[in-house]
Amino acid sequence: MRSRTPASLALCLLLALPGCSTAPPTDREAPAPHPSATAGTPLPDGVDYREFEHGFGRGETSHVRVVSVRPDARARVAGAHGPALARTRTVRETAVAGGAVAAVNGGFFDVHTGRHHGGYEGDAIGLYVEGGRLLSEATNGRAALLLGHEGGRMSARIEEVSVRGRLRTDDNATRELDGVNRLPGRVLGCGGVGGDRVADTEEFMEAPYGGLCTDASEIVSFTPEWGERTPAGPPGSAEAVLDRDGRVVDVRRPAGGPVPEDGTTLYGIGSGAGWLREHAPRGSGVLRSVRLWDEAGRPVEGRVDTAVGGSHRLLRDGRVTVGPTAARGIRAPRTLAGVTADGTLLLVTVDGRKPGVDSGATAQEAARLMASLGATAAVNLDGGGSTTMVVGGVVRNTPRGVDGSEGVERPVADVLAVYPE
C-alpha cells in the first residue's frame, strides 16, 4: 500500500497508511545480443558482468549471463516498473528510463496469453515491494528475494514470505485486507487469505497453486501506482476513496473510478462491500497495517526496500531444494536470483528454446548452476519469453518465445535494476 511514512521504515513495522507462456504480438524487436561485449560496459565498483556457455548434461548447453553486486558496491539494486502497474514495459525501456546500468525481468504477472487472464497484463502475481511500499501481496509461502540498503551496504536474502493486512475503522471494527492492486475476487496463483477456492473445483485453497482461485467476498487496496482508474465493479460492490491521511472522502457504489494521486482506495465485493458501507462512511477514518511474515510465522526482520516473489526456492544453505520434476521438469529460459555466503547478489539469465544452441534449464539444473556460481540461497523468478538481461542499455541475452522465435523483447510487469550510487 502507498504510505506517507518515510520509505526508510521496514515493511515489517505497522504502517498507519492514508507467467508467461507465449510471446504476445505487442513484443518489441530487441537488438542483437553482444556475446562478448563486456569490457566496454562501465559498471560501478562492486558490480560485475560476465557471460559464458554452461553444460547441462547430455551434450546440452546454454548461454548464461551473470550480474553480480557486492554488498558494498557503489550501486543500489531496486525493483522498478513502468508508468502503471496495470500495464507492461520492456526490461530495456524500464532500465533506460531510470538510468540503470543493468537489469533483469522480475516477478510473474498476468500475461494476456495466459489461460486466466483478467484484462490487466501488468498485474503482478505474488509479492512485490518497491521503495519500501507493498504494491502486490505475496503468494503466501512462495520464496521471494528481499533487498535492503542501510549505511552504504546492501542486504540480500531469500525467504518464504506471507503478507497479513488488517483494517481498523473509527468504530473499532476490524477486517482482513485481502490484497493490493489486483482484481478483487481473482487470486492468480492462489496462496491468498480468507475464502479462496480453486476456480475449477471450488476446493478451498490457502497454499500456492498454479491456477486461479476465486473469492466472492474481498477488500482489495488500490494505490496510485496501479494506474488512473480502478476496474468497474459488479452490482453490490463498494469502494471507499481515502485521502493521504486515511480519511474517507467518498464511497462509490458500485466500485470503480479514479485513483487519487495522493491517496488510496478500498474496493469491496460481497461481504467486503457490506463491511465498507457499514464501517467506512464518508468522513470516517481507516487505519491499515501490513506485516511480512516468514515461514516460521514470525515478522520478517530487517529492512525491506525491495521484494520480488518467485516460484521455487532453488537453494537453501547451499543445498538443492527442488527435485527433477519441479516445474514439470521442463527445460526453459530462466531468470534466477541468488545470494552468496558473503552477501553478494547474483542476477542470472539462462537462454533456451533453441536446441543445439540454448537448451534452457530445468529448475533442478538451474539450482545446480546457481550453486556452481557460489550461491547458498537462490530463487526462480519469471522465465520463458520474459527472460531478459540488459547491461549498458543493451539486451545481452536472446529472448525467445514459446515457439523458439527470437529477436523480440517481451514487455513485463517489473524488473530488478542496478543503479549507480
Amino acid 324: pLDDT: 87
In the predicted structure, residue 76 carries a pLDDT above the cut 50? yes
Q: What confidence tier does 404 reach under pLDDT thresholds 50, 70, 90?
A: confident
- Phi and psi (nearest 5°) for 56? -110, 20
- Mean pLDDT for 9-37 is 37
Among 354, 343, 364, 279, CA closest to 145: 343
In the predicted structure, residue 127 carries a pLDDT above the cut 70? yes
- Mean pLDDT for 294-309 is 95
Q: What confidence tier does 205 reach under pLDDT thresholds 50, 70, 90?
A: confident
Q: What confidence tier does 119 reach under pLDDT thresholds 50, 70, 90?
A: confident
Report the range of poorest mean pLDDT among 85-89, 110-114, 223-227, 320-324.
110-114
Residue 271: how many CA atoms within 13 Å on its side-chain side? 8
Sequence letter at residue 368: R
- Mean pLDDT for 322-333 is 89
Amino acid 38: pLDDT: 45
- Phi and psi (nearest 5°) for 271? -65, -25
Report the range of poorest mean pLDDT among 9-18, 115-124, 257-266, 388-397.
9-18
For the chain, give every domain's residue range.
28-158+302-420, 163-291
Residue ranges in 203-348 assigned as alpha helix (H): 271-279
In the predicted structure, residue 203 carries a pLDDT above the cut 60? yes
- Mean pLDDT for 52-72 is 95
CATH number of 163-291: 2.60.120
Q: What is the per-residue pLDDT across 77-114, written as a single tens digit (0 to 9) for each?
A: 999 999 999 999 999 999 999 999 999 999 999 988 77
- CA-to-CA distance for 54 and 56, rounded, in angstroms? 7
- Mean pLDDT for 61-67 is 97
SS3 assignment, position 292: strand
In the predicted structure, residue 316 carries a pLDDT above the cut 70? yes
Report the range of poorest mean pLDDT among 68-82, 115-129, 308-322.
115-129
What is the value of pTM for the model shown? 0.90
Q: Provide, rounded to the nearest whole percent, the portion of the chain with pLDDT above 70.
A: 90
- CA-to-CA distance for 119 and 86, rounded, in angstroms? 9
Among 132, 134, 203, CA closest to 164: 134
Amino acid 295: pLDDT: 93
Pairing, β 238-242 against β 248-252: antiparallel
- Mean pLDDT for 183-210 is 89
Q: What is the per-residue pLDDT across 137-180, written as a single tens digit (0 to 9) for each?
A: 999 989 999 999 999 999 999 999 999 999 999 999 999 999 99
- CA-to-CA distance for 336 and 375, rounded, in angstroms? 11
- Phi and psi (nearest 5°) for 299? -60, 135
Encode 168-199: b = buried (16+ Cβ within 10 Å), e = exposed.
Answer: bbeeeeebebbbbbbbbbbbbbbbbbbbbbbb
- CA-to-CA distance for 271 and 245, rounded, in angstroms? 25
Q: What confidence tier does 223 reach under pLDDT thresholds 50, 70, 90?
A: very high
- CA-to-CA distance for 49 and 396, rounded, in angstroms? 10
SS3 assignment, position 329: helix
Q: What confidence tier does 26 reach under pLDDT thresholds 50, 70, 90?
A: very low
- CA-to-CA distance for 235 and 270, rounded, in angstroms? 10
Q: What confidence tier does 409 reach under pLDDT thresholds 50, 70, 90?
A: very high
Over the chain, what is the mean pLDDT?
89
Q: What is the per-residue pLDDT across 336-359, written as a single tens digit (0 to 9) for each?
A: 999 999 999 999 999 999 999 999
For residue 342, give every residue at least 6 positions away whose Cβ sits within 8 Å of its Cβ, in sequence order, or none: 70, 71
For residue 7, give every residue at least 6 positions away whose Cβ sits within 8 Å of its Cβ, in sequence order, or none: 131, 132, 133, 305
Sequence letter at residue 66: V
Amino acid 380: pLDDT: 98
